[in-house]
Amino acid sequence: MTHQARERRRRLPALAAGALLLPVAALAFAPPAAAQDDVVYASDFEDGTVGDWAPRGPVTLAVEDGALLTTGRSADWHGPSVDLTGVIAPGGVYEIAVSVRFADGSAGDALTATVQRETADGTSYDSVVYQAPAGGDWTVLSGEYSIASPATALTFYIESPTVDASYWIDDFTVTELEPPGIEPDIPSLKDVLADDFRIGAAVDPRDITGDSGQLLSKHFSQITAENHMKPDAIQPTEGEFTFSAADELVDYAEANGMEIYGHTFLWHTSQVPEWWFEYPEGHPNAGEPLGNSDEDRQIMIDRLEAHIGALAAHYGDRVQAWDVVNEVISDNNAEVYRHSRWYEIFDGPEYVYEAFRIAREQFDAVGATDVKLFINDYGTENPGKRDNLYNLVADMLDAGVPVDGVGHQTHINLNTSITQIEDSLLKFADLGVLQAVTELDVAIGAPGPDEEFPQLEARLIQQGHYFRDLFAMYREHADLLESVTVWGLHDGRSWLRSETRPLESPLLFTDALQSKWAYWGIVDPSVLPEIPDEEEPEYARVQVPLADTAPAIDGERDAVWDGASTVATEVVIEGTADGATADVSLLWDEAGLYALFEVTDPSLDEASANPWEQDSVEVFLNPGNTKEGGYGPADGQYRVSFTNAVSVGGNGPDAGELTSAAAVTDTGYVVEVAVAMAPEQAAIGTEHGLELQVNDGTDGARTAVHTWYDPTGLSWNTNANWGIAEFVEDVEAPGEGGGKLPTTGAALTAALAGAAALGVLGFVMVRRRRAAADWGE
């Protein structure tokens, strides 16, 4: 067999994208397992042969006394393997069990049971049991396993980290615990919401066959092509159009009485082929990047006309609405527009106006006059970004641009303010445009791989309550909404599910296509369990002393910093502990907060066009420590790179101004900042939500992120999980108020593991309820 290079392997010890190894809590929505007698595959070697088992690597397999012995290993991945491709069905839940022991006299103390899963997207390695203790006596390795979508090959194998170990296996069984399939007798979402708005799902051709197709047609009245109508899918090479995958989706939708929402003509990401931004063949500068001359802009306009025209001619009014442009508003509220290649070539937002004019002309030309044209963006619940999008749409309407609607992507989490989502719907209603929720998912804040998550069930219940409240608000304003679309059919198909977030579960159905509390929150909230009562987390705290004199913001450590409190960014959000970190000194005075980041980073990089992927630091400030979710009027996210390039995030309209300086050092760099605050907040005894972050860029990509406290990676989206800074005249006890933390970072992970062992839920968000479209304790 061919062995994939070790460094390219993707080992998923808990939950793979497309493969599910279920924790107990994840089975809460399924009926109790039947008696364990539905064995769908077994090997006991009693016939004296290896049967279906084959060597994985150059090993020797031999059967002796009714068991299989593996010898001759010279690498940790070597071992016995068996093909389960025809045994494991998508959506089913299986227990895989095998008896193991090391051979007499063999080294080794641990064994791993793994499934190698091949799909069109590549190879994954799903650990059923990872490095379980084993010795010279027989022991049983067992774990639950499921795949969410078909695999081209599934190979189970046993390996050991001790490369020369020899071991026995026996009594291998695969037992079906839960048959594949959907729940046929539960209410259909599309029927429950029929009087309100269409309910949609983002899908691709994997989702329209078998059990997935049944789930889709039962519950949804509209589909969006997740990827197959984007520019790279439709026109990968200039002038060559490919519609086959998109046609499959359109044909399926029409056959099942569904509407189709098109996504998207114009975008800024790698899913727009690079040729869009280069001179065409036959031009003297063919293949070179376009500039921003009138000639260059005309090339882009011609390309838009050809691309949109081809889609209009092919689909006409079979697709009832389209995202004409997607994500053109910057995350930096002060910048307003995303400075994409489109923006650079047109030297402003005029390309947005042109795209809508072209789209209306092209669809009208084929008689599809009723096709609706939308502008789509994420973060519209953020007041600053919402206002920037609102102003753009208002200007377009004033200019006679045919924009019909606004799409709110709504990629949110359990702490996102529902009131702010509602405010955005009401604000755009003033413009008289159509509105749609286009890409809804609600992240539960699952941790990274190999981390305990004892609060999983509590988060899923909380998610059910959140969907209850969110859809109660949506239904209250149903007259404003064309449709609500969830971004994925089930959790296993979510874009948020990955190696780095293997337990993230943001949608309405499980990987096994079963209903979640999120679904029941929409359909029948009366069945929701109470959210478990939990103590409020012991947020990290730091006492910030009053500065004797204001620091000079010059990128140098003045003597005044010797009296500061200092904290460290030790919580790993992305990458490893080896990524860039900082010691951060903190002071305040009547003008506001001061911070000095002393960053350790031996290699500095700002190659990426995205500021968050450059070597940089961030300060998140929530004056008054309101922790209401989202960003309040005075909240701010401030980012400063090692070259002192400044960008801001979803800052509220009253967020304080930033002053900054940066300097490169022998071990990394220093960033010094001052954030202005209102007089009533810059006072002794006040408390403020605070988070501090270091971004590590390498070769144009972000390779690590470290924070002071927030372990969720969602500081950019919500203030609910930040630490707390208390403004004091003097620190109470040197070395304590100056940055001593409660359980956080590595200690937090250990505490959660201990909580799991004791059977308690551990760290869970404060219980929240929604009343009168607002969050309160």
* Mean pLDDT within 321-348: 93
Q: Looking at 159, 323, 327, 331, which residue is catalytic?
A: 327
Give burial (CB, 10 Å; 0-12/13-18/19+) of 110. Answer: middle
pTM, rounded to two decimals: 0.71
pLDDT tens per residue across span 344-393: 999 999 999 999 999 999 999 999 999 999 999 999 998 889 999 999 99
Q: Which residue has the higher pLDDT, 2 or 397?
A: 397
Does residue 596 surpass a pLDDT of 80?
yes
Does residue 30 surpass a pLDDT of 60?
no
Cα separation of 104 and 67, whole Å?
Answer: 14
Q: 647: which strand partners? A: 639
Closest C-alpha to 166, from 244, 119, 219, 100: 100
CA atoms within 13 A on the CB side of 56: 23
In which residue are the tokens 């799902």 written?
A: 201
% residues pLDDT > 90 (the chain)? 74
Give burial (CB, 10 Å; 0-12/13-18/19+) of 479. Answer: exposed
Does residue 2 surpass a pLDDT of 80?
no
pLDDT band at 733 (very low <50, low <70, confident <90, very high): low
Q: What pLDDT does 161 receive?
A: 94
Strand boundaries in 120-228, DSSP class E: 122-133, 139-147, 153-159, 167-178, 198-203, 222-225
Phi then psi for residue 525, to 5 deg, are -60, -20
CA atoms within 13 A on the CB side of 297: 16
Phi then psi for residue 261, to 5 deg, are -110, 125
* Beta carbons of 325 and 375 less than 8 angstroms apart: yes
pLDDT tens per residue across span 673-714: 999 999 999 999 999 999 999 999 999 889 999 999 998 888
Averaging pLDDT over each range in 80-94, 311-325, 537-551, 622-636, which range is the top one?
311-325
Residue type at 564?
A: A
For 655, the token pair is 């967020």
Q: What pLDDT does 723 receive?
A: 95
Q: Looking at 95, 204, 331, 439, which residue is catalytic?
A: 439
SS3 703: strand
pLDDT band at 575 (very low <50, low <70, confident <90, very high): confident
In which residue are the tokens 């049971």 written?
A: 113
Q: Looking at 211, 377, 381, 618, which residue is catalytic?
A: 377
What's the mean pLDDT when you consider all of the chain? Answer: 87
* Mean pLDDT within 573-593: 94
* Mean pLDDT within 322-346: 93
Does residue 402 surpass a pLDDT of 90?
yes
SS3 613: helix
Residue type at 130?
A: Y
* Mean pLDDT within 462-470: 98
Q: 586: which strand partners? A: 565, 595
pLDDT tens per residue across span 484-514: 999 999 998 999 988 778 899 999 999 889 9
Cα separation of 414 and 463, whole Å?
Answer: 7
Cα separation of 489 and 506, whole Å?
Answer: 11
Q: What pLDDT does 59 receive?
A: 96
Closest C-alpha to 340, from 398, 384, 277, 263: 277
* Mean pLDDT within 465-483: 98
Does residue 396 surpass a pLDDT of 90?
yes
* Beta carbons of 19 and 117 less than 8 angstroms apart: yes
Q: What pLDDT does 769 receive?
A: 21
Q: What pLDDT does 534 receive?
A: 66
Cα separation of 8 and 22, whole Å?
Answer: 25
Which residues have CB under 8 Å from 89's CB, separation 6+? 147, 180
Q: What is the largest CA-CA distance in the chain?
A: 85
CA-CA distances (angstroms) from residue 575 to 169, 329, 444, 747?
A: 36, 28, 20, 18
* Mean pLDDT within 450-463: 89
DSSP code for 378: S
Closest C-alpha to 19, from 142, 218, 208, 155: 155
Cα separation of 627 and 720, whole Å?
Answer: 4
Cα separation of 118 and 269, whole Å?
Answer: 27
pLDDT tens per residue across span 46-75: 999 999 999 999 999 999 999 999 999 999
pLDDT band at 120 (very low <50, low <70, confident <90, very high): confident
- One DSSP character per residue, 197-261 reads -EEEEEE-GGGGSHHHHHHHHHH-SEEEESSTTSHHHH-SBTTB---HHHHHHHHHHHHTT-EEE
* Mean pLDDT within 722-747: 64
- Cis-peptide, bond into residue 264, ω within 30° of zero: yes
Compute the Cα dihedral for 407, 412, 418, 424 and give only its sign.
negative
pLDDT tens per residue across span 185-204: 999 999 999 999 999 999 99
Q: What pLDDT does 4 receive?
A: 27
- One DSSP character per residue, 288-341 reads SBP-SSHHHHHHHHHHHHHHHHHHHHHHTTSS-EEEEEE--B-SSTTT-B---H
Does residue 431 surpass a pLDDT of 90?
yes
Cα separation of 412 and 515, whole Å?
Answer: 20
For 712, the token pair is 């969720």
327 has catalytic annotation: yes
* Mean pLDDT within 305-320: 98
* Beta carbons of 329 and 389 less than 8 angstroms apart: yes
- Poorest-pLDDT segment among 17-31, 247-261, 449-463, 615-629: 17-31
Compute the Cα dihedral for 78, 80, 85, 88 and give only its sign.
negative
pLDDT tens per residue across span 121-157: 788 899 899 999 999 999 999 999 988 777 889 999 9
Closest C-alpha to 647, from 673, 670, 666, 669: 673
Q: What pLDDT does 765 receive?
A: 30
Please state the separation of Cα 684 from the chain's center in Å.
39
Phi then psi for residue 629, to 5 deg, are 90, 155
pLDDT tens per residue across span 403-420: 999 999 999 999 899 999
Q: What pLDDT does 368 receive?
A: 98
Does residue 557 surpass a pLDDT of 50?
yes
* Mean pLDDT within 629-653: 88
Cα separation of 560 and 583, whole Å?
Answer: 16
Q: 42: which strand partners? A: 173
Q: What pLDDT does 756 receive?
A: 32
Cα separation of 19 and 149, whole Å?
Answer: 8
